[in-house]
Amino acid sequence: MEKQLPPKQLLAAQLLADGLPFKQVSEKVGVSLSVVYKWKHIPAFNSYVNELLMLNENKAYQDLFSLKPLALETLKAMLNSKDSRTAIKAAELILTYGT
- Averaged pLDDT for residues 3-31: 95
Instruction: State whether 72 and 87 are in the same domain.
Output: yes
For residue 56, the enclosing domain spans: 2-66
Decide if pLDDT at 99 tops 90.
Answer: no
Task: Please say if the pLDDT value at position 38 is more than 70.
Answer: yes
CB-based contacts of 69, cutoff 8 Å, min separation 6 = none
Do residues 59 and 16 share a domain? yes
Q: Are residues 53 and 19 in the same domain?
A: yes
| 61 CA to centre of own chain | 8
Q: What is the pLDDT of residue 4?
A: 87
Does residue 46 sit in the same domain as residue 84? Answer: no
Mark whether 61 and 72 lie in a shared domain: no
For residue 93, how many other CB atoms are within 10 A of its CB?
Answer: 15
pLDDT single digits (tens) 43-95: 999 999 999 999 999 999 999 999 999 998 999 999 999 999 999 999 999 89
Q: Are 84 and 76 in contact (CB under 8 A)?
A: no
Residue 2 has what pLDDT?
A: 56
Kindly state whether residues 43 and 8 are assigned to the same domain.
Answer: yes
Same structural domain, 6 and 46: yes
* pTM of the model as a whole: 0.68
Q: 12: how many CB neighbours lie within 10 A of its CB?
A: 27
pLDDT band at 33 (very low <50, low <70, confident <90, very high): very high
**Same-domain pairing of 60 and 72:** no
Which pLDDT value is given to residue 1?
A: 56
Q: Into how many domains does the chain fold?
A: 2
